[in-house]
A and B are shown apart, each in its own frame.
Chain A
Amino acid sequence: MERIVEIEGVTRQFRRRIALDDVTVGVPRGGVFGLVGENGAGKTTLIRHILGLLSAQSGTVRVFGLDPVRHPAEVLGRIGVLSEDRDLPPWMRIDELMRYTRAFYPKWEPAYAEQLREMFELDPRAIVSSLSQGQLAKAGLLVALAHRPEFLVLDEPSSGLDPIVRRDILEAIILTVAEEGRTVLFSSHLLDEVERVADRVAMMHHGKIVLDDTVEDIKTSHHRIVVRAARGQEEAPEIPGALSCRGIAPEWTMLCRAPLDEIKASVLRNGGQVVDVATPSLEEIFVGRAKTKGLETAGV
């Protein structure tokens, strides 16, 4: 399977702060790739490397097989970008913004751009600085989509937006990926959205990739179990792959990443009982993992 983005062993340090710590991750062509992590985890820094705005201090970054720092025009011409701060000239009108952006993208389709503008209900004469948060996001999305890029990169597209605008943005993502061969990468901390729309998710924590898998595999490999400990046991039982634990004796709720039969066997061996099993949401998994200490070793 072809990969649009190949990042290998990239480390990025800003003075004393390590923003990216030996990051290796790939984005396959086609489908939606979600990048999640708390603020400061390194998502935007990673995206900036993909866009060639930052040069890797170690390791390699390849987009469409090219180094985005050495081939900026070639790479960026095939990418539609919506950055977190939207980055639109505040004094421009919407129609001026469209004309301005068109100049950078030979593949810009004026008719399609017009359709998008109408779809997003943006007044061509409105000035960017007068737009609401939602309208700003839509304007940014318009110029990202209008040249029908192979690769759409969205940094926190939904942050600070009301649910209605968020739906419109999700819809635009789905429409994009429904067209053959197009790829979307979006970073978000709205995990319920990521869960319904992403095919793969990479989770970052303190500059490291702590999870990189399909949404399906993540959901099927994590379990939320309720364990009734053996009589007299004051502490929570030790379960393979346990990521978090809460409760008081004798009942504990634990989040585990391990095969279910192994978990059950382990609980039984300790004289306990598995009382309930459920599939945790991506948000629960995220919170559970972020709070787990000792995440340094990969593979958990």
Chain B
Amino acid sequence: MNRAELASTSHLTFGRKCINLVNTVYNEGLLVEIHLDARDSAPVYVQIVRQVKRLLASGRLAAGDEMPSVRVLARQLLVNPNTVARAYRELEVLGVLESRQGSGTYVSGEGGRPGRRRKVMCLAAPADALLREARGLGVPLEEVREFLIERDAVLDADDERSA
């Protein structure tokens, strides 16, 4: 089956395998690896924003890449299109995405790898959670700092063992 035939049958065949194949070969934009965690109490649009930032920081999304349309992503995630639209708007305000008139939504051009600051900012959520937990337990910031260095060493040891 050539690409054109695949494209024209995409809206008729609904077998799950076929849809995944079609999404990779022909779609309204990149197949984006975003997954929602039902146990995460953060609003869906926040989860989407976070994951896009993560994809960008890890290089799996690059400047200039086209994002799937709101409809396509909403369908992929099984969420309200308004929620996806909201996430995209948020990402545009943050300068991560830009929408081009009549063309779609793209990852903002930045040239080169994502800035170091941006990578660090992706850690904001887990960092804030850690800090709040520490406060709740009454652990001072200095101890948290030392503890992080301890844990980092443990991770090094783990990595060595599994290598």
| A residues lining the B interface (CB < 8 Å) | 31-32, 115, 118-121, 167-168, 170-171, 174-175, 177-178, 192, 196-199, 216, 219, 275-276, 278-281
The CA of A279 and the CA of B41, in the complex, are separated in Å by 6
Task: Chain B residues near A192: list those with CB within 8 A.
Answer: 38
Q: Which residue of B lies closest to A118 (CB)?
A: B12
Q: Are A196 and B80 in contact (CB under 8 A)?
A: yes
Known: A167-B78, A174-B78, A178-B74. 13 other contacts (CB 8 A): A119-B13, A121-B14, A168-B14, A171-B75, A174-B74, A174-B75, A178-B71, A196-B44, A197-B79, A199-B82, A219-B43, A279-B42, A279-B43
Q: Are A197 and B78 in contact (CB under 8 A)?
A: yes
The CA of A124 and the CA of B66, in the complex, are separated in Å by 40
Q: A192-B38, A275-B136, A279-B42 are in contact. Are A174 and B12 (CB under 8 A)?
A: no
Other-chain residue from B36, B41, B77 in contact with A281 (beta carbon distance below 8 A): B41
Task: Chain A residues near B83: list those with CB within 8 A.
Answer: 196
Interface SS of chain A: helix, strand, loop or mixed? helix
Q: A118-B12, A118-B14, A119-B14 are in contact. Are A178 and B81 (CB under 8 A)?
A: yes
The CA of A199 and the CA of B45, in the complex, are separated in Å by 13
Task: Chain A residues near B80: list those with CB within 8 A.
Answer: 31-32, 174, 177, 196-199
The CA of A162 and the CA of B82, in the complex, are separated in Å by 26
Q: Are B41 and A278 in contact (CB under 8 A)?
A: yes
Q: A32-B80, A118-B14, A197-B80 are in contact. Are A178 and B43 (CB under 8 A)?
A: no
Task: Chain A residues near B82: list those with CB within 8 A.
Answer: 31, 199
Q: Are B81 and A177 in contact (CB under 8 A)?
A: yes
Nearest CB of chain B from residue A149's CB, rounded to whole Å: 18
Interface SS of chain B: helix, strand, loop or mixed? loop
Q: Are A115 and B11 in contact (CB under 8 A)?
A: yes
Other-chain residue from B11, B14, B71, B79 in contact with A196 (beta carbon distance below 8 A): B79
Task: Chain A residues near B70: list those with CB within 8 A.
Answer: 178
The CA of A32 and the CA of B70, in the complex, are separated in Å by 16
Other-chain residue from B15, B75, B136 in contact with A178 (beta carbon distance below 8 A): B75
Nearest CB of chain A from residue B82's CB, rounded to whole Å: 6
> Can you list 12 A-B contacts with CB-CB less than 8 angstroms, sorted by A residue number?
A31-B80, A119-B13, A171-B75, A171-B78, A174-B74, A178-B70, A178-B81, A196-B44, A199-B82, A275-B136, A279-B41, A281-B41
The CA of A32 and the CA of B136, in the complex, are separated in Å by 39
The CA of A119 and the CA of B81, in the complex, are separated in Å by 21
Nearest CB of chain A from residue B7's CB, rounded to whole Å: 15
The CA of A109 and the CA of B124, in the complex, are separated in Å by 51
Task: Chain B residues near A121: list those with CB within 8 A.
Answer: 14-15
Task: Chain A residues near B74: list those with CB within 8 A.
Answer: 174, 178
The CA of A174 and the CA of B74, in the complex, are separated in Å by 7
Q: A115-B12, A275-B136 are in contact. Are A280 and B79 (CB under 8 A)?
A: no
Q: Which residue of A lies closest to B137 (CB)?
A: A275
Task: Chain A residues near B13: list those with CB within 8 A.
Answer: 118-119
The CA of A118 and the CA of B74, in the complex, are separated in Å by 22
Q: Are A174 and B79 in contact (CB under 8 A)?
A: yes
The CA of A196 and the CA of B81, in the complex, are separated in Å by 10
The CA of A192 and the CA of B40, in the complex, are separated in Å by 12
The CA of A292 and the CA of B157, in the complex, are separated in Å by 51
Other-chain residue from A170, A174, A279 in contact with B81 (beta carbon distance below 8 A): A174
Residue from A120, A168, A197 whose CB has the most chain B CB atoms within 10 Å: A197
Task: Chain B residues near A31: list those with CB within 8 A.
Answer: 80, 82
The CA of A235 and the CA of B136, in the complex, are separated in Å by 22
Q: Which residue of A lies closest to B74 (CB)?
A: A174
Nearest CB of chain B from residue A246's CB, rounded to whole Å: 18
Nearest CB of chain B from residue A192's CB, rounded to whole Å: 6
The 4 closest A-B pairs by CB, nearest first: A119-B14, A178-B71, A279-B41, A196-B79
Task: Chain B residues near A197: list those with CB within 8 A.
Answer: 78-80
The CA of A192 and the CA of B70, in the complex, are separated in Å by 21
Q: Are B41 and A280 in contact (CB under 8 A)?
A: yes
Task: Chain A residues near B11: list those with CB within 8 A.
Answer: 115, 119
Nearest CB of chain A from residue B156's CB, rounded to whole Å: 31
- Cβ contacts B58-73/A at 8 Å (1 or 0 each): 0000000000001100
